[in-house]
Structure 1
Amino acid sequence: MKNQAAKSTTGLDVLQHCLGPAAGAWPQANGRLMHGTEPLTEWLKRSGQSTPAYVYHLAAIDRQVQAVRAVLPADLHLHYAIKANPHPEIIQHLSRQVDGFDCASLAEMQQVVAIAPDKSAQASIAGPAKSDDELIFAISYGILINVESANELTRIWGLAAEKGKRARVALRINPPFEVKGSGMKMGGGARPFGIDSEDIPALIRHWQANTSEWIDLAGFHLYTGSQNRDATALGAGFRAALDLIIELSQFCDFTPRHLNLGGGFGVVYHPRDAPLDLAALQPVLHEISATAQGLWPGVRLNLELGRYLVASAGIYLTRIVDKKTSRGKTYLLCDGGMHHHLALSGNLGQILRRNWPIVAIDQLNAPCIHKVDLAGPLCTPLDVLGQNQELPQLAVGDLIGVLQSGAYGLSASPNGFLSRPTCGEYFFK
């Protein structure tokens, strides 16, 4: 696949490689992205919609969910991590396809209760420094709380006692290992996330002896990292996570009823990167499920995915406002920038900034033989859309599309920066 990606010379090649099976959800004709029977560019003009804008094809989400379901055992439940994209349209669409939701804030929990109340019992909240309002809401609606510290468990106990309702909790484990290949590591070493694994036994024993009246300890949560496209490393991480949970449970004579092993499936952001081989994960996922069910019959085993389900469903559109040459370098200056799409600038977890997959949406068949820099409208050198980006010959007024923008896009960006207006979000089925 790496060799195939290296030969990609058109926007269509980039789109097909980066989006994989989800590329087929984006209609194309004569080298142009389409909306129904008309070019997307013409639809924007005719409907009076301006750029910058995010456009989403929900059918791409369907294809991603189907691809994941194809490798999951029947008793491994699929959850959506709302933080990837909390738009109500996304939550509504996924509520019919996933088994539950994982939240990271009060607002996300409120969205689940409002949009998919039947999934409230299969929702959870994670994150350090949870507020009392978040904990009270979770207790009130029976949402599982992934506990990040001993102090937090004490707070939950007190709030549950005040409400007169037992809190459903899982202990989030900070394991003694990291998973190779994760873009952002969230486990191993000293972390703000979770409880160090060596402290778990004492906490369970304390709960068993003192706090069972208001605490329903359902099991464990373990999330080691995100944006991992290495199936071998992911599989090893899942095995290591289950082995650790088995060791802790046996040591404490505790029978878990709930296990969340995280997710972290990575997507292709760069045309020369190889995609995650889902099929290679199928054996280990089935093995883990069978092992868990053999030890604890009826245990609920969850896999939480965010980015992997929704990234390919979104494209960020921006229009070229100016074109200039500065000391031999060609710049395309666009009406969109880091205030709408922070990750483009490299400010969302990238140690070294790398170009995103960007295509000219009306020239998908044209060879990408011109190297240009792309910048936004903000008066800061950080407002970078692309550097030495390979694109066709473009002119003022042309539209470019940033692929894989359905996750951590508008909601993860500083929309108020420099008091610039926000951008539209348009949903197609």
Structure 2
Amino acid sequence: MTGPAKPGYWYDLAGLDAWAAAVRAALPAGVELLYAMKANPDPGILRTLAPHVDGFEAASGGELRHLTEVFPGTAPAAFGGPGKTDPELAAGLAAGVRRFHVESPTELYRLSRLADDRGEITDVLLRVNLPVPVGGAVLVMGGRPSPFGMSPADARDCAKLELPGIRIRGVHAHLGSGLDAPTAAEMARTIVEWAVAELDAREVNVGGGMAVDYTDPAARFDWPAYGAALADLLGSYPGRTLRIEPGRVLTVYCGRYRVGVLDVKRSGAEWFVVVTGGTHQFRTPAAKGHSQPFIVLPRPEWAYPFPRPVTGDAGPVTVVGQLCTPKDVLARLPDVAVLPPSGRIAAGDTIVFEMAGAYAWNISHRDFLMHDPPEFRTGIPEE
């Protein structure tokens, strides 16, 4: 007797390869493309992206170690993230990190001491929290008091220092996420204008934060328009290096999370579809507070000798997981979903959540209730 599908992640690496190539082609010469591996550090994803990017940004000692394991002998392009410890900074120096994104004057002094002890010169970008409005951002990282980066005044002071082991190359600024192409381009220009005017920066990393619309899986960030805007920006500041650092927008579309329908039951006027897995494996919808888009792959046969539970014609439907918490919610109907012709979901069906390639398994509270981990496969899931 066949039970419901076990939970699993499926990564469409061929689709990712094509998407990354299209993004790279939309960017002008002179713009470096880094992948912020915090979005998804899966080795297959990193290897697929490698031919299309100028390197990877790590944000912890663990990510540094993982990156050097996947690509032995390759130096990480950038090491960012708040709260770096001395052992992590030392690990970055040992790994040959090409650019450190320094978050504060204190971190700069600590890095200087470690680099000088090694007799090395290390290249630094000062992460700056510019006091500019971040309109339209889904997640605001700067533009107002924030734990990320340093103030413009501190950045100016740091740029004047002559510290042993330190060579300041320019500025890093990531002020918000969820930006459409015009807003992201305007933000990039604001950052570059400040960095050149105030610090005569030769390199500027304007971060990532390109919008991803979970309510419309077919929508895409307008890379050609963004690339054209960056080309104009480079034309205004010749001789500078411009760098971008996206994460989610590169990998989100390549991932799918497949689960099986364990049960369908009614509570009051509402229906609950209980699936294998849940937010302990796929935290994205809980973290962002949305309904994850999904498709239903119906299973026609029902092998059990009792009635098959199925959603009714009336009442809201909520798709939940296996956790002992009412927060274990993956989706609610009638939000983005592709249902079978009947319009109903039955026990034994398979549900495939789309846009599961970023900030999904890697941010999940996977040890809660200690369920078995999901499967990991490449390709596109079928029933």
TM-score by length of 2: 0.87
Say which is worse superposed, 318-327 or 48-57, in terms of deviation.
48-57
Identify the residue that residue 227 of structure 1 maps to in structure 2: 178
* 1:278 shift after superposition: 2.5
Following superposition of structure 1 onto structure 2, how do residues 291-302 of structure 1 map, counting pairs within 5 Å? 291-292=236-237, 294=238, 297=239, 299-302=240-243
Identify the residue that residue 129 of structure 1 maps to in structure 2: 83
Q: Does the 8 A contact of 2:204 with 2:242 survive in 1?
A: yes
**Between the two proteins, what is the percent identity of the paired residues?**
32
Among candidates 190, 198, 204, match of residue 259 of structure 1: 204
Q: Does the 8 A contact of 2:4 with 2:260 survive in 1?
A: no
Identify the residue that residue 355 of structure 2 maps to in structure 1: 404
Say if 2:376 is the partner of 1:425: yes
Identify the residue that residue 246 of structure 1 maps to in structure 2: 196
* 1:49 shift after superposition: 11
Among candidates 244, 257, 262, match of residue 321 of structure 1: 262
Identify the residue that residue 217 of structure 1 maps to in structure 2: 168
Q: Does the 8 A contact of 1:142 with 1:168 survive in 2?
A: no
* 1:223 shift after superposition: 0.8
In structure 2, do the counterparts of structure 1 residues 49 and 58 end up closer, same or farther at CA, with 3 Å as the change threshold?
Answer: farther
SS at match of 1:70: helix
Q: Does the 8 A contact of 1:173 with 1:195 survive in 2?
A: yes
**Which stretches in structure 1 are left out of the alignment for 5+ residues?**
1-44, 364-368
How large is the Cα RMSD of the aligned pairs? 2.3
Q: Deviations over 1:17-66 (max 9, x none)?
A: xxxxxxxxxxxxxxxxxxxxxxxxxxxx8xx9952111010122122212
Say if 2:171 is the partner of 1:200: no
In structure 2, do the counterparts of structure 1 residues 84 and 204 end up closer, same or farther at CA, with 3 Å as the change threshold?
Answer: same
Q: Deviations over 1:200-233 (max 9, x none)?
A: 111111x23xx1x3112122111111222x2221
* 1:335 shift after superposition: 1.0
Q: Does the 8 A contact of 1:76 with 1:301 survive in 2?
A: yes
Q: Does the 8 A contact of 2:294 with 2:352 survive in 1?
A: yes
Say which is worse superposed, 332-341 or 91-100, in terms of deviation.
91-100
Taking the aligned partners of 2:377 and 2:218, their CA distance within structure 1 comes to 29
* 1:196 shift after superposition: 0.8
Following superposition of structure 1 onto structure 2, how do residues 263-274 of structure 1 map, counting pairs within 5 Å? 263-271=208-216
Taking the aligned partners of 2:379 and 2:333, their CA distance within structure 1 comes to 32
SS at match of 1:195: coil
In structure 2, do the counterparts of structure 1 residues 271 and 94 end up closer, same or farther at CA, with 3 Å as the change threshold?
Answer: closer
* 1:272 shift after superposition: 9.0
Given residue 72 of structure 1, which amino acid in structure 2 is its aligned partner? L
SS at match of 1:220: strand
Q: Does the 8 A contact of 2:5 with 2:259 survive in 1?
A: no
SS at match of 2:319: strand
**Which stretches in structure 2 are left out of the alignment for 5+ residues?**
300-312
Following superposition of structure 1 onto structure 2, how do residues 72-83 of structure 1 map, counting pairs within 5 Å? 72-83=27-38
Identify the residue that residue 325 of structure 2 maps to in structure 1: 380
Say if 2:142 is the partner of 1:142: no
* 1:99 shift after superposition: 0.9
Q: Does the 8 A contact of 1:337 with 1:377 survive in 2?
A: yes
* 1:377 shift after superposition: 0.8
Given residue 323 of structure 1, which amino acid in structure 2 is its aligned partner? V
* 1:117 shift after superposition: 4.6
Identify the residue that residue 236 of structure 1 maps to in structure 2: 186
Q: Deviations over 1:292-347 (max 9, x none)?
A: 3x2xx2x43211111111000000111100011111212111111110111222xx
Q: Does the 8 A contact of 1:184 with 1:226 survive in 2?
A: yes
Following superposition of structure 1 onto structure 2, how do residues 37-186 of structure 1 map, counting pairs within 5 Å? 51-117=6-72, 119-120=74-75, 123-143=77-97, 144-186=99-141
Given residue 290 of structure 2, which amino acid in structure 1 is its aligned partner? R
Say which is worse superposed, 299-308 or 111-120, in terms of deviation.
111-120
In structure 2, do the counterparts of structure 1 residues 287 and 215 end up closer, same or farther at CA, with 3 Å as the change threshold?
Answer: same
TM-score by length of 1: 0.78
Q: Deviations over 1:117-161 (max 9, x none)?
A: 5651x6111111101121001112221210000010111111112
Taking the aligned partners of 1:380 and 1:137, their CA distance within structure 2 comes to 39
In structure 2, do the counterparts of structure 1 residues 118 and 244 end up closer, same or farther at CA, with 3 Å as the change threshold?
Answer: farther
Q: Does the 8 A contact of 1:235 with 1:281 survive in 2?
A: yes
Given residue 405 of structure 1, which amino acid in structure 2 is its aligned partner? A
